């Protein structure tokens, strides 16, 4: 289904068109939200909110950008709102997630993870997430769209409604800021 046809069908309230929209963009929306929020359950909640907003706001879509770009913008806004309103999980909740998650165990695999390795992985992951969370929103958005969604600078500029050179600058500053934060972390980690 072509984009213009999809938009027209959505405006008519066609449920099959909405299903097609969700199937086409769900992965993109969840991945983008996950790249910003770092929590799958919250990313899936954001995705649900995004599709509800798209369904309710399709009449306001002015075709000034592609449908994909519009959905990216909604996803970014919803993700940033979720970060601001929910805050980060507590350390103890993350520990619970670590030790009490359901794992599928295959034949010959141990049902118990290597606790030391899992703690180190969690620590490294938490350091990266923490460093990303210190970035200004515009740097975080540019970095997420670049690294998690593999968008080109031109596509990021369109989504963020900034120039291509602004995207280059945002990504450069994001990388420098992340390097500083992570360099300190790894320096302390190895001592």
- CA pair distance 122, 36, nearest whole angstrom: 17
97 inside domain: no
Phi, psi (5° rounding) for residue 77?
Answer: -60, -45
Write out pLDDT tens, residues 171-183. 999 999 988 888 8
List the domain range (segments joined by +) for residue 140: 115-191
Q: What is the mean pLDDT of residues 2-13?
A: 92
Domain count, the chain: 2
105 inside domain: no
176 inside domain: yes
151 inside domain: yes
Write out pLDDT tens, residues 87-124. 544 333 443 444 444 444 444 444 445 666 666 666 66
Q: Provide the CATH number for the domain around residue 26.
A: 1.10.1740.10
188 inside domain: yes
The answer to whether 44 and 30 are in contact (CB under 8 A) is yes
103 inside domain: no
Give, as one character, the DSSP assignment of residue 148.
T
Q: Which two tokens stand for residue 93?
A: 């909740």
Of residues 124 and 9, the one with the higher pLDDT is 9
119 plus 81 within the same structural domain:
no
pLDDT of residue 130: 81
């Amino acid at each position: 289904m072509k984009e213009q046809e999809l938009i027209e069908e959505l405006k008519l309230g066609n449920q099959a068109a909405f299903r097609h929209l969700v199937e086409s963009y769900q992965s993109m929306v969840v991945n983008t939200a996950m790249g910003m929020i770092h929590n799958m359950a919250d990313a899936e909640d954001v995705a649900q909110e995004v599709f509800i907003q798209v369904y309710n706001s399709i009449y306001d879509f002015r075709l000034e950008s592609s449908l994909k770009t519009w959905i990216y913008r909604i996803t970014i806004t919803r993700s940033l709102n979720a970060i601001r309103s929910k805050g980060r999980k507590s350390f103890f909740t993350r520990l619970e997630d670590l030790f009490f998650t359901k794992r599928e165990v295959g034949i010959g695999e141990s049902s118990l993870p290597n606790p030391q390795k899992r703690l180190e992985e969690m620590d490294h992951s938490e350091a990266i997430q923490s460093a990303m969370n210190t970035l200004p929103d515009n740097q975080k958005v540019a970095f997420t769209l670049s690294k998690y969604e593999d968008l080109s600078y031109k596509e990021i500029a369109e989504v963020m409604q900034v120039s291509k050179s602004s995207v280059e600058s945002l990504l450069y500053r994001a990388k420098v800021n992340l390097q500083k934060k992570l360099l300190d972390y790894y320096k302390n980690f190895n001592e």
